[in-house]
Structure 1
Amino acid sequence: MSVLQALLAFGVAAALLTITPGLDTALVLRTAAVEGAKRAALAGFGIVLGCLAWGAAVALGLGALLQASTLAFEVLKWAGAAYLVWLGLSLIVRPRERFELSAAARPDGGDFAWMQRGLLTNLLNPKVGVFYVSFLPQFLPAGAPAAPFIFLLAAIHALMGLVWFATLIAATRPIAGALQKAAVVRWLDRLTGGVFVAFGLRLALEPR
């Protein structure tokens, strides 16, 4: 795929991934509802820093390998595509019925402790690392330098996260209410699952 095609495809997948409820969404919504907008914004900023850290780790760790080894690229491409298909089918077949939004625990250390909490929530979640390793290299276009382009994708995802967290904070009550409706949660899970399956199949068959 070309650079433009890769960016557009990644933009669609990453945007859907960003708005699908998960641990990060829960932390920001809980903090906004219980502690206020400032601390929620700090928690969201910490989460985004975690995304950038994971993106840098993937870019530095895999960039040189993918650039140098066709075999490594093919192995990771098929493994990542299989992971995306499995993840997508899991969301389609077993969508969640509810999304918990209980009150957030209060960390010690003042306002900036919330940024630390957001950062650690992301960095200490191995699923984020596994997903980035599987997901980001799938959008590497032919001829593009691997490490800078992978980090660019992580930065785009982080920017989407900032916009989404700002939206969550500005509309905490209606969004929190919607995410507690079983039909909304099921719809988001199934839609996300369908996109992941489609991208997994397409990217598996996409030539380097």
Structure 2
Amino acid sequence: MSVLDAVLAFAVVAGLLALVPGLDTALVLRSTLTRTRPYAWATALGVASGAMVWGVAAAAGVSALLAASEVAYRLLTAAGAVYMIWLGASMLVRSFRRTPGAPEAADAAPPAADSPWRGWLTGAGTNLLNPKVGVFYIATIPQFLPEGTSPLLMGALLAAVHGALTVAWFGVLITGGRWARRWLASPRVMRGIDRVTGLVLIGFGVALAVDAVPSRG
């Protein structure tokens, strides 16, 4: 298998994965509908950055070491669970604190909340604290490493392909979402989006928390 063959084959797998709705998709859609365009793009790039780190780690063997250590895996899973539950709960609390019937300006997020840097941190943090992303790379990247190539460089290349496909798909969502925002730009709808996204995040966090608990027997 040549490098080109490996990249094309991996692109098919990564492309299908990018299309599957999940936590990352929910975050980007929420950013698109409730925040600014730079914030939404920064969130998408944060998700891609997290995937890039996991891909390089898998190629370097760090993720494999993590998978081999049950304690390390469970600690990272617990950290991810706490982060996602906190993020989701924050969205819920913020949505209920908004005063019903208040002017739209009162529902607008403060400038600091719309910072692209904050959007990037949210996307990257959510991805990096989800060990299941690392497990995906551990399972797939070794299958696409041609003989004679550097595992680290090839892993970085494959992760970059995955990141590029993910950002491209999120670009479609952001473009379509910004158009839809004109029809959904109601304080009540925005609060609803925050609540739904918050519940999704809490659901993912609880699922991770369950994974972090050692099974008995």
Shorter-chain TM band: 0.5 to 0.7
User: In the TM superposition, what is the alpha-carbon distance from 1:62 to its structure 2 partner?
Assistant: 6.2
Q: 1:12 to 1:175 in 2, by over 3 A?
A: farther
- Is the 8 Å Cα contact of residues 60 and 151 (structure 2) preserved in structure 1? no
Shift of 1:142: 2.3
SS at match of 1:171: helix
**How many positions carry a matched residue from both structures?**
138
Matches within 5 A, 1:116-127: 116-127=121-132
**What's the counterpart of residue 59 of structure 1?**
59
* In 2: Cα distance, 1:147 partner to 1:114 partner: 28
Going from structure 1 to structure 2, the CA distance change for 1:47 and 1:24 (only over 3 Å counts) comes to same
Q: Which moved more, 1:135-144 or 1:152-161?
A: 135-144
The answer to whether the Cα contact below 8 Å between 2:52 and 2:163 also exists between their aligned partners in 1 is: yes
Q: Is the 8 A contact 1:62 1:147 kept in 2?
A: no
Q: Is the 8 A contact 1:168 1:175 kept in 2?
A: no
**Counterpart Cα distance in 1 of 2:35 and 2:121:** 15
Letter in 2 for 1:160: L
Q: CA deviation at 1:56?
A: 1.8
Alpha-carbon shift at residue 172 of structure 1 (Å)? 1.7
Identity of aligned residues (%): 43
Q: Which 5+ residue runs of structure 2 have no aligned equivalent?
A: 65-87, 95-108, 182-217
Corresponding residue for residue 150 of structure 1: 155
**SS of aligned partner of 1:5:** helix
How far apart in 2 are the matches of 1:44 and 1:34?
14
Deviations along 1:132-151, one digit per CA (max 9) or x if unpaired, are 11111111122222221111
Cα deviation 1:56-83 (Å, max 9, x = unaligned): 21122269x9xxxxxxxxxxxxxxxxxx
Task: Look up the equivalent residue of 1:140 and give its one-letter code.
Answer: L
Q: Deviations over 1:141-176 (max 9, x none)?
A: 222222211111001111111211111100127899
* TM-score, reference length from structure 1: 0.59
Deviations 1:7-37 (A, max 9, x none): 2211111111111111111100111011132
